[in-house]
Amino acid sequence: MSVSVLITSGVNAQAQNYPIKPIRFIVGFPPSGTNDFLARAVAPKMAEFLGQQVVVDNRGGASTMIATEMVSRAVPDGYTILLNAPAHSTNPTLAKPNYDSVRDFAFISLVAESQNLLVLHTSIPSKSVKEFLAFAKQRPGEINYGTSGAGSTPHLSAELFQYMTGVKLVHVPYKGSGAGMVALLSGEISMYFANIPVAIQHVRNGRLRPIALSGTRRNQAVPGIPTLSESGLSGFDVTSWFGIAAPAKTPRAIVDQLNSAIVRAVNAPDLRARFLDQGAEPVGNTPEQYTAFIEREIAKWARVIKAAGIKAS
């Protein structure tokens, strides 16, 4: 009998009593960013419904590929899961990772969606997209923008912004959105397409100036802020999303248990309120719906990346 058959047989037997030990929740970003916030918010709720700890393990680097490859190679027993983010759908085109972004995973559920908020350092004298475009076009190559890494939605948002407007900006990637926010607050960079949860407190206390949203509709966490489409960039739509996956061949019974815990967690009134206050919209869907979503995202971003000539750095 082969080793793979033995492992599969053992995993299927364990599925009957799952979970009997803590679950390792791998996050491909450093602490303090939106991904980390969402993971640490949903993990205790999942633990409550599963009856075992869900331990967040930050493994940042290589545009989430270190963490993602780690999970793709993990034993498919439900004790190692991954927080997916948009880089999962852009890396196949930008970076050619050492795993298959669809076949090597069992997708469990989409957790939440959010938009990016175009925020400026307060030294930039612009209060709208129109004013900022006029300001930036007079200073080609002089305005720095930060991101949480190549292929992240802040990066894609800024590249699409340049492609649609003709402005010339300078990309400064950081190791996570937390570091990018520190750089923006200090004036090291001038703009950032930040996920709403990571920027919201700085916007509310007046330390950053928001001028537009990257999605197709306004967000209740930042009332009064228009979308980029409303601001003259018709069709602009870049949305961040966050979901959970396991290694491929994880038994369906385990996937279903994890899915149930996630859906119950994101629909818990206290967690929903917390997400919405931070600008993230809870989702919770089926494994089939999440898998189809991932496939659509990979195809969509392959088209956008090629059309806009976006590079990995």
Q: What angle do CA 211, 216, 217 make, to 5 degrees?
A: 75
- Read off the amino acid at residue 160: L
Residue type for 124, please?
I
Which token pair is 123? 């030294």
What's the pLDDT tens digit per position in 171-204? 999 887 888 999 999 999 999 999 898 899 999 9
Question: What confidence score (pLDDT) does residue 270 get?
Answer: 96
Handedness of CA 37, 40, 45, 46 (dihedral sign): positive
User: Reduced to 3 states, what is the DSSP secondary structure of residue 154?
Assistant: helix
pLDDT of residue 105: 98
Six-digit token pair at 264?
A: 């119950």
Please state, in angstroms and rounded to a whole number, the distance separating the CA atoms of residues 154 and 239: 10
Q: Name the token pair of 171.
A: 């990309």
Mean pLDDT over all residues of the chain?
92
- Report yes or no: 160 and 238 within 8 Å, Cβ to Cβ: yes
Give the pLDDT score at 19.
97
pLDDT the model gives residue 276: 93
Q: Is the peptide bond before 19 cis (omega within 30 degrees of 0)?
A: yes
Alpha helices in the chain (DSSP H): 3-15, 34-50, 65-72, 87-94, 129-137, 153-165, 177-186, 196-204, 252-267, 269-277, 287-308
- Token representation of residue 204: 């509310």
Integer Cα distance of 182 and 197 in angstroms: 15
Task: Give 282's strand partners.
Answer: 112
Residues with pLDDT less than 50, the chain: none
Tokens of 116: 């990016």
What pLDDT score was predicted for residue 22?
Answer: 98
CA–CA distance, 1 with 214 (Å, rounded to integer): 53
Residue 305 to residue 12: CA distance in whole angstroms = 40
Answer whether 3-113+240-308 and 114-213 agree in fold: yes
pLDDT of residue 12: 61
C-alpha 311/C-alpha 88 separation (Å) is 16
Say what the pLDDT of residue 55 is.
Answer: 98
Cα dihedral sign, 230-234-238-239 = positive
Pick from 100, 154, 138, 143: nearest CA to 121: 143
At residue 101, φ and ψ (nearest 5 deg) are -70, -10
Biggest alpha carbon–alpha carbon distance for the chain = 70
What's the whole-model pTM score?
A: 0.86
Task: Name the residue type at position 69.
Answer: E
| CATH placement of domain 3-113+240-308 | 3.40.190.150
C-alpha–C-alpha distance, residues 90 and 312, integer Å: 10
Which listed CATH number (3.40.190.10, 1.10.3720.10, 1.10.1040.10, 3.40.50.720) goes with 114-213? Answer: 3.40.190.10
Query: In the chain, where are the structural domains located?
Result: 3-113+240-308, 114-213
User: Tell me: the pLDDT tens digits for 115-173?
Assistant: 999 999 999 999 999 999 999 999 999 999 999 877 788 988 999 999 999 999 999 99
